[in-house]
Amino acid sequence: MIEEMEKDDRVFLMGEEVGHYQGAYKVSEGMLEKFGPRRVIDTPIAENGFAGVGVGAAMVGLRPIIEFMTWNFSAVAFDQILNSAAKMRQMSGGQFNCPIVFRGPNASARQVGSQHSHAMEHFYAHVPGLKVVAPAFPADAKGLMKAAIRDDNPVLFMESETLYSLKGDLPDDLDTIPMGKAQIVREGTDCTIVAYSRMTHVALEAAAALEKKGVSVEIVDLRSIRPLDEDMIVQSVRKTHRCVVVHEGWPYGGVGAEVSDRVQRLAFDFLDAPVLRVTTLDVPMPYNAKLEQLCMPQPDRVVAAVERTVGRGRAA
């Protein structure tokens, strides 16, 4: 964000506690001192209000970054995202763009209760006019954020709260990473696992356990949910002939259902087993720590699903 704000004075950050408190998770640390209160703007606890201010600013040529302290709170601003940001270009006949980034931590944290544990990406991926991004690694987070800020469309940037402490190398020449381009983070031959955000790391743990059992897993990290890189998914499934989708949202109508539909339509003749999904259980998230972990996808559930597709073990 700092690099893009240095390059383009139309870019500004606005949200709860982004300035003097330097971000609820210190993401905006030092930015108020560097850019001042006109470009790093603290807001009241009024998501619908400041989301709407951001949409209006984007319509007149600025490039806002709107931070929700958590994507759970974006439910209060859903009208602005759904009915204003997503539809502005079409409803104005192309007279107005809406170059805005909505960002913040998404999905579960640790014992924050059912009202603060929603994986919100599938709600927004359902909406035409929005782009939805969910990186799993630091370099992807940087490259995709730079691409999102420069994009002339509204982009929703889903940051896993549990990945903020993750560290990784950043290439010196890293600039933008295009949205809609997945990556293979582990090559394999027996089954494809499709995941994104924190679930990519759960998939990697499962793959390591499966390797000890003689099962070779390929992992496709989506990075971007809408647009979706269906070509890479299909290419991998044609290679492995099996697919398991892992995501942190609920199962009904989730991202896994969309991926499963595309795999069965575009790679049906290559499938040797049904596409399986591993998701958060179809209940509000419990507060109890053990029940919370039981609800969320864990490596052992992913292992069980893969073993089922290759003819070993029982269902997850």
Measure the CA–CA gap between 81 and 240, rounded to whole angstroms.
38
pLDDT of 299 higher than 80: yes
In this prediction, residues 292-298 reach a mean pLDDT of: 94
Per CATH, 2-163 and 183-309 having the same topology is answered yes
pLDDT the model gives residue 308: 96
In this prediction, residues 299-314 reach a mean pLDDT of: 88
Catalytic residue among 67, 116, 159, 258: 116
pLDDT the model gives residue 41: 98
Write down the domain spans for the chain: 2-163, 183-309
pLDDT digits (tens, 9 = 90+) for 60-72: 999 999 999 999 9
pLDDT of 312 higher than 70: no
**How much is the pTM?**
0.94
Catalytic annotation present for 201: no
Amino acid of residue 135: P
Asked whether 134 and 225 are in contact (CB, 8 A), the reply is: yes
pLDDT the model gives residue 111: 86
The pLDDT confidence band at residue 316, using thresholds 50, 70 and 90, is: very low
- Residue 220's H or E segment, with its range, is strand 217-221
pLDDT of 315 higher than 50: no
* Angle CA 30–33–39, to nearest 5: 100
The pLDDT confidence band at residue 145, using thresholds 50, 70 and 90, is: very high
Residue 122 corresponds to which tokens in the numbers above? 């599938």
Amino acid of residue 28: S
pLDDT digits (tens, 9 = 90+) for 201-236: 999 999 999 999 999 999 999 999 999 999 999 999
Neighbouring C-alpha atoms within 13 Å toward the C-beta of 155: 24
Nearest to 25 by CA among 91, 58, 70: 70
In this prediction, residues 111-138 reach a mean pLDDT of: 94
Give CATH for domain 2-163.
Answer: 3.40.50.970
pLDDT of 113 higher than 90: no
Measure the CA–CA gap between 138 and 119, rounded to whole angstroms.
20
pLDDT of 108 higher than 90: no
User: Please, is 41 exposed, middle or buried when counting C-beta atoms within 10 Å of its C-beta (0-12, 13-18, 19+)?
Assistant: buried
pLDDT the model gives residue 314: 47
pLDDT of 124 higher than 90: yes
**How does the average pLDDT of the chain come out, rounded?**
95
Instruction: Tell me the fold of 183-309.
Output: Rossmann fold (3.40.50)
Q: Specify which residues 191 forms β-bridges with.
A: 217
pLDDT the model gives residue 293: 92
pLDDT the model gives residue 112: 87
pLDDT digits (tens, 9 = 90+) for 186-196: 999 999 999 99
Catalytic residue among 47, 67, 161, 292: 47
SS3 content of the chain, % helix, strand, coil (to 5): 40, 15, 45
